[in-house]
Amino acid sequence: MRPHFLLIFLTVLLAANAPADEGMWTLDNPPLGRLKASYGFAPTQEWLDHLRLSSTRLSDGGSGSFVSPRGLLLTNHHVAASQLQSLSNAKRDYMKDGFYAATLAEERKSPDLEVTVLISMEDVSSRIRAALKPGLSQAEAQKARRAVMADVERESLKATGLHSECVTLYSGGEYWLYRYKKYTDVRLVFAPERQVAFFGGDSDNFTYPRHDLDMALFRVYEDGKPLETRHYLKWNPAGAKAGELVLVAGHPGSTSRLNTMRQLERDRSEYAKYLDLWRDQLRLLRQYAARGPEQERQAGEEIFGLENSIKSVEGSLQGLKDPNLMAKKQRDETEFRALIRANADWQKELGGAWDAIVLAETRAAARFDQQLYRPFNSRIYQFALQIVRLVAEVKKPDQERLPGFHESQMESLRYQLSSPAPIYPELEIVKLAGSLERLTQHLGAQDPYAAAALAGRTAQEAARALVTGSTLADLAARKALIDGGEVSVAASTDPMIVLARKLDPIGRENYRWMEDNVRSVRSTAGEQIGKARFLAYGKSAYPDATFTLRLAYGTVKGYPMNGTVAQPMTTFYGLFDRAAGFGFAGAWALPSRWMEATRRLDLSTPLNFVLSADIIGGNSGSPVVNRAGELVGLIFDGNIESLPGEFIYDEERNRAVAVHPAAMLEALRKLYGASRVVSELVRTKP
């Protein structure tokens, strides 16, 4: 499970009716009343701060936590997969074989992973709102909003040195400034074989009972040395127990629980198109992988990512097609709007928001196919476009720049542009040719993007010429262009740069059009609906997910499943049962290390478990802690019943799936001989 950011955002906010374990709570507004009422648990501010400062966000789209005073960081194998893939080559395949650094010196620097820790949160709603002077058109207000956010972020960065982000919560009901400490020297310490980390493959993904050792360990360095930190989670080797209250700190990517009905309808239509697109991309990647083992290795992580997104969005789409779910959403919206309508002042100020959204979404639908099919599926082209824009944007006042090019974002942008992660030309050609074929098919060969890229050639010819003619796979070439600035970029004959120069103005026009006609309306309407919600229900609820730190909580417990009850935990017994049940073949084959060492393992060791905490993609790698704040699990998935969780939380059947610490220790000790790491993890054992 990883976040997918295609999605937008409204919830079943009736606090009185909300299920006890629902919610992804911001750390400024933790659910203290609910925890006290449901579980008799009252965490102190110190407890909350320690958990926050022990939790991390990973730039590859997941979460993690510090688990030792020397910067050891625990996350999922599938969150680490992009780095594992980049560190592998034809001769050494860390995805297939796993990795363990027996000494500190052997720890391997990840090419482009950024790890951030949330240091502070500040409510900047009044400053943002103050910038939205009365009398501005919606488009002008949108510009003003962007500008003041850039100011806030830049000023904060300058004042604190911390990475600073404005976060829109409650669909614009509140704006916050989040400040992060960022680490970029992040080294790989341990990863098991993909076959046991992702046991059961795409079939078992998003399901339960599950049997995956979906873990990886990095170490965060500062100034070339392991990070010294007192904020880490103590490892509880006994781990989570059935019936126990547990809490989750992580970064859920995106939910759409506060969406209006019109936005849910939009999602339903757009998701179906995304699925078609992704299935086509997946088909091409599988064809590529079928060429040979090295091609299979190169495409492996992207295939996983696409399969994961497809299964996740299929689940969301099923929710959007579920008459019960949609009827509930409609009832909630009808009741909410009736409450607003019942107060003439509220209705006058805020009641128009829903119709405004209808307008914005109708406009957006007219350009949706362009948004979907024009982006080229090519890492090299993305570099080219970023470089063309970077050299132009840096010369502008910060307030006026495109998103992604603000002062506060420059460090990460330059870091990502200088990633040494390998790029495989033949794979790039397959992906880009696929983009060009779909583009031509859906928008026609006369579409300016298609015409510019194809220039009379077939998609295959064009893709090959563009990829093989470009030097941008080489990070030195990228650096030279960036350092040369606008002059170098204007003079470049690199075909990818040439293409990006030609298409950039069209992209900018589209950005402007979306800002003025769609996003500005959404922003204003979102702020109105956010305010309306506070007026109608108070701030008794949580905002939709925004890939920012949230606290969720729940009980380790099974649920009704397919005629029976899902067990709260699985064990190594279950891993071997499922492998044997499929004849140790395909996605259920086990690494030889595991086949040989069965007898050495305590098979009754808990492997995975389910909890009712409310999570979603982006929570991958989140720590699960007990009342003492000790690590008792590692989130890595949700069950299939949780996929409509994008829109609604169902306490009866929505479950997060976590790796149990006992299984991690048992495997590290008995199968991987990872005594160095084990002693680091458990020396601080309570």
Residues 398, 214: Cα–Cα separation, whole Å: 41
With helix as H, strand as E and coil as C, how does 363-409 read?
HHHHCHHHHHHCCCCCHHHHHHHHHHHHHHHCCCCHHHCCCCCCHHH
Q: Nearer to a second copy by C-beta: 245 or 536?
A: 245
Residues 283, 277: Cα–Cα separation, whole Å: 10
Q: Nearer to a second copy by C-beta: 135 or 243?
A: 243
CB atoms within 10 A of CB 526: 25
Q: From the CB of 197, what's the least distance to a second copy, in Å?
A: 17
Q: Which stretch binds a second copy (CB under 8 A): 130-138, 205-213, 365-373, 442-450?
A: 205-213
Kindly identify the residues of this chain, within the stretch 270-329, that bind a second copy according to CB under 8 A: 311, 315
Q: What is the rounded end-to-end Cα distance, in angstroms, of the chain?
A: 31
Q: Nearer to a second copy by C-beta: 23 or 633?
A: 633
Query: Does residue number 561 form part of the binding site for a second copy (CB under 8 A)?
Result: yes
Residue indicated by tokens 């709603």: 125
Q: From the CB of 468, what's the least distance to a second copy, in Å?
A: 41
Q: Nearer to a second copy by C-beta: 37 or 595?
A: 595
Phi and psi angles of residue 520, each rounded to the nearest 5 degrees, phi first: -60, -40
Q: Which stretch binds a second copy (CB under 8 A): 43-51, 440-448, 568-576, 658-666?
A: 568-576
Q: Nearer to a second copy by C-beta: 592 or 675?
A: 592
Kindly identify the residues of this chain, within the stretch 427-466, that bind a second copy according to CB under 8 A: none
Query: Does residue number 604 form part of the binding site for a second copy (CB under 8 A)?
Result: yes
Residue 617 · residue 256 · CB < 8 Å: no
Q: Which stretch binds a second copy (CB under 8 A): 200-208, 400-408, 416-424, 654-662?
A: 200-208
Applying CB under 8 A, among 22, 174, 204, 646 the residue interacting with a second copy is: 204
Residues 506, 366: Cα–Cα separation, whole Å: 16
Biggest distance spanned by C-alpha atoms of the chain: 75
Q: Which stretch binds a second copy (CB under 8 A): 431-439, 516-524, 554-562, 665-673?
A: 554-562
Residues 2, 345: Cα–Cα separation, whole Å: 42
Residues 454, 560: Cα–Cα separation, whole Å: 54
Residue indicated by tokens 């893709």: 463
Query: Does residue number 242 form part of the binding site for a second copy (CB under 8 A)?
Result: yes
Decide: helix, strand or coil at residue 596.
helix
Residues 570-599, mask of contacts with a second copy (x by CB under 8 A): xx-xx-xxx-xxxx----x-----------
Q: Nearer to a second copy by C-beta: 98 or 209?
A: 209
Residue 71 · residue 176 · CB < 8 Å: no
Q: From the CB of 582, what's the least distance to a second copy, in Å?
A: 5
Q: From the CB of 573, what's the least distance to a second copy, in Å?
A: 4
Query: Does residue number 209 form part of the binding site for a second copy (CB under 8 A)?
Result: yes
Q: From the CB of 406, what's the least distance to a second copy, in Å?
A: 41
Kindly identify the residues of this chain, within the stretch 636-655, that bind a second copy according to CB under 8 A: 639-640
- How big is the site for a second copy, counted in residues (CB under 8 A)? 35
Residues 321, 578: Cα–Cα separation, whole Å: 32
Phi and psi angles of residue 260, each rounded to the nearest 5 degrees, phi first: -75, 165
Q: Nearer to a second copy by C-beta: 159 or 580?
A: 580
> Could you give the C-alpha distances from 432 to 5, 136, 466, in angstroms and in order?
21, 42, 9
Query: Does residue number 670 form part of the binding site for a second copy (CB under 8 A)?
Result: no
Q: Nearer to a second copy by C-beta: 164 or 567?
A: 567
Query: Does residue number 603 form part of the binding site for a second copy (CB under 8 A)?
Result: yes
Q: Which stretch binds a second copy (CB under 8 A): 217-225, 347-355, 462-470, 603-611?
A: 603-611
> Could you give the C-alpha distances from 99 to 80, 81, 93, 264, 536, in angstroms and in order?
12, 12, 9, 43, 53
Residue 664 · residue 644 · CB < 8 Å: no
266 Cβ neighbours under 8 A, 6+ residues apart: 8, 361, 364, 365
Q: From the CB of 287, what's the least distance to a second copy, in Å?
A: 23
With helix as H, strand as E and coil as C, how does 162-208 read?
CEEEEEEEHHHCEEEEEEEEEECCEEEEEECCHHHHCCCHHHHCCCC
Strands (E) located in 527-674: 550-555, 559-561, 564-566, 569-571, 606-611, 623-625, 631-638, 656-659
Applying CB under 8 A, among 250, 568, 618, 633 the residue interacting with a second copy is: 568
Q: From the CB of 203, what's the least distance to a second copy, in Å?
A: 5
Residue type, 108: R
Q: From the CB of 111, what's the least distance to a second copy, in Å?
A: 33
Q: Which stretch binds a second copy (CB under 8 A): 128-136, 180-188, 206-214, 505-513?
A: 206-214
Q: From the CB of 208, what's the least distance to a second copy, in Å?
A: 8
Residues 153, 338: Cα–Cα separation, whole Å: 38
Q: Nearer to a second copy by C-beta: 312 or 548?
A: 312
Q: Nearer to a second copy by C-beta: 325 or 455?
A: 325
Residues in the chain: 686
Residue 626 · residue 236 · CB < 8 Å: yes
Q: Which stretch binds a second copy (CB under 8 A): 174-182, 600-608, 620-628, 669-677?
A: 600-608
Q: Which stretch binds a second copy (CB under 8 A): 229-237, 349-357, 560-568, 668-676?
A: 560-568
Q: From the CB of 312, what's the least distance to a second copy, in Å?
A: 11
Residues 160-199, mask of contacts with a second copy (x by CB under 8 A): ----------------------------------------
Q: From the CB of 609, what's the least distance to a second copy, in Å?
A: 9
Binding site for a second copy (CB under 8 A): 200, 203-204, 206-207, 209, 242, 311, 315, 558, 561-565, 567-571, 573-574, 576-578, 580-583, 588, 603-604, 606, 639-640
